[in-house]
Amino acid sequence: MLRQVYITKDDEIIFQREFGKALDDDGFKQAYKQISKDAFKTAAESTKYHDYFQYRIGYLAVPEKRILFFFVSDLSDKFKNIQKELEKCRKEFMDMFESILDDQIDADTFEIFDPTIELIHKNLRPKISLVGFSGVGKTTITRLITAQDIPMEHVPTITGDIGTIKIGKLHFHLWDFAGQEQFSFLWGNFIKGSDAVLLITDSTLENCEKSRYFTELIKKEAPYAHTACIGNKQDLPDAMPILDIERILGMKAYSMIAVDPENRDKMITIIADILEMSGEVSPLLKPLIQRDKIMQEAEEAVEEGDFQKAANLFDELADLSLELGDDRVSQDFHEKAMKIKTMLQQFGDKEAQKEQEEEKEQEKPAKPIPATSTVIPPPTPSSAKVSSPSVSSTVTPPPAPPSTVTPPPAPPSTVTPPPAPPSTVTPPPAPPTT
């Protein structure tokens, strides 16, 4: 696996790219000091390699320009493959920048060379082998990594499956080979040349004891490979603790339940850990780590009811997934964003309509108040100078303010009073005269 790329001119670094853990600053300076002496001792261009501790350093020198192309990879990488990519790197770089190399150049100028280096890394992609006996879950883990449907019953892998897998911008070969013992004569060839080997067990004592065979095979066929054990089926009652598995096999072990699709991120993290890659170091994994972080923020925004923020985050996730080449995932995030935006638009239309109706209601003329609801003010005191229309003396004065109990209606002023009694009493008739 290609881990670092350096391009130097006049002993100064003008381009640098890291894909995984490799040389620190002091390590690079020491390695460069040794290699540059050999690289520039002749006037002819040369491509060579130098094994430096656990790394293989391939380099191509251009003495005329005092330029050195410097690849740091694993000891498992074949030099003929490194040489081919070094020559491609030299050609592409010189075609793009040779005319300006003698000028004062800003380091940001060389960022346009990044896609070329990513393609070179893709061509030198790591080989990861999944080994283990039949039935331990190798194919299930393969499907988990690739986000394919996970089989619910065991179907033996008759021949080795070789696929090119992409996680984020990281491409690698994934080898899942037959675990039946009748194919054991093929196991050595499958493992050979691996950058990483994952030993899969079903976490039972019997299987772990038996799987010691693979630890010896790995040492023989892939001595420079990064190795680890996956303790699968940890949800079963007879599953051994991970520390016990590590003790039996003598290697780092990780807990796993491969039939659970939710464990895909965990499996990807395990692969990155085994390859000594991290999102902080490798630009190939940074977008993937960033996407996971934004997904969490989007889910929190939905839970908190901040739907506008959630829609914006889903749009960002769609763009990021498109950059990673996950077109289907990008479409899913885009559809989520559109659904939320449509919901917000509909809600906004309803609110606007409600406000318009309230405004129209306020603009309507006031309706006359019914008499029954009118509160009659108390009578004006006699001293007040209030002009009132003349009324007949027989008119009853205005009624007193109504109490909470409605009084009986006043007699009408137009009622004729009873006739007054006569002023004289008529005497009885006089007796007749004689």
Q: Is the pLDDT of residue 232 over 90?
A: yes
| Residue scoring higher pLDDT (52 or 392) | 52
Determine contact, residues 376/401, Cβ cutoff 8 Å. Answer: yes
Q: Is the pLDDT of residue 72 over 80?
A: yes
Residue in this structure with the two tokens 């070094």, named with its chain if needed: 86
Whole-structure pTM value:
0.65
Q: Does residue 432 sit in helix, strand or coil?
A: coil
Buried b (16+ CB within 10 A) or exposed e, 31-62: bbeebbeebbeeeeeebebeebeebbbbbbbb
Residue 44: its pLDDT value, please? 86
Phi, psi of 399, rounded to the nearest 5 degrees: -70, 155
Q: Is the pLDDT of residue 201 over 90?
A: yes
Residue 396: its pLDDT value, please? 47
% of residues, the chain, pLDDT over 70: 73
| Residue scoring higher pLDDT (183 or 203) | 203
Mean pLDDT of 307-324: 85
Helix (H) or strand (E) holding 11: none
Residue 2: its pLDDT value, please? 93
% of residues, the chain, pLDDT over 90: 40
Q: How far apart are CA 333 and CA 297, in angstroms?
A: 14
Q: How far apart are CA 310 and CA 11, in angstroms?
A: 49
The DSSP string of 43-109 is: SS-EEEEEEETTEEEEEEEETTTTEEEEEEEETTS-HHHHHHHHHHHHHHHHHHHGGGTTS---GGG
Mean pLDDT of 198-208: 95
Q: Which of left, alpha, beta for 233 (phi over 0: left; psi -120 to 50: alpha)?
A: left
Residue 375: its pLDDT value, please? 52
Residue 243: its pLDDT value, please? 96
Residue 265: its pLDDT value, please? 81
| Residue scoring higher pLDDT (289 or 17) | 17
Q: Is the pLDDT of residue 398 over 60?
A: no
Q: Which of left, alpha, beta for 40 (phi over 0: left; psi -120 to 50: alpha)?
A: alpha
| Residue scoring higher pLDDT (424 or 281) | 281
Residue 237: its pLDDT value, please? 93
Task: Give, as one character, the DSSP assignment of residue 285.
Answer: T
- Which of these ranges, 33-37, 49-53, 274-278, has the smallest mean pLDDT? 274-278
- Which of these ranges, 101-110, 262-271, 278-287, has the smallest mean pLDDT? 278-287
Which residues, 6 or more positions from 338, have their beta carbon under 8 angstroms from its beta carbon? none
Average pLDDT along the chain:
80
DSSP H stretches of helix in 138-263 = 138-146, 184-191, 205-210, 212-221, 242-249
Q: How far apart are CA 402 and CA 377, in angstroms?
A: 9
| Residue scoring higher pLDDT (417 or 40) | 40
- Which of these ranges, 269-283, 288-302, 378-392, 397-411, has the smallest mean pLDDT? 378-392
Mean pLDDT of 10-37: 92
Q: Which of 333, 331, 138 has its CA nearest to residue 229?
A: 138
Mean pLDDT of 299-304: 88
Q: Which of 285, 290, 286 has its CA nearest to residue 317?
A: 290
| Terminal C-alpha separation, the chain | 170
Q: How far apart are CA 229 and CA 208, in angstroms?
A: 10
**What pLDDT band is residue 152 in, cutting at 50, 70 and 90?**
very low
Q: Kind of pairing, strands 2-9 and 12-18?
A: antiparallel
Residue type, 148: Q
Q: Which of 374, 383, 410 has its CA nearest to residue 395?
A: 410
Q: Is the pLDDT of residue 12 over 50?
A: yes
Task: Give, as one character, the DSSP assignment of residue 17.
Answer: E
Residue 250: its pLDDT value, please? 95
**What pLDDT band is residue 409 in, cutting at 50, 70 and 90?**
low
Residue 420: its pLDDT value, please? 52
Q: How far apart are CA 217 and CA 191, in angstroms?
A: 8
Q: How far apart are CA 334 and CA 362, in angstroms?
A: 42
Q: Which of left, alpha, beta for 168 (phi over 0: left; psi -120 to 50: alpha)?
A: left
Residue 178: its pLDDT value, please? 65
pLDDT tens per residue across span 372-393: 555 555 555 544 443 444 434 3
Q: Is the pLDDT of residue 147 over 90?
A: no
Mean pLDDT of 18-33: 92
Mean pLDDT of 300-315: 90
Q: Is the pLDDT of residue 248 over 50?
A: yes
Q: Is the pLDDT of residue 156 over 60?
A: no
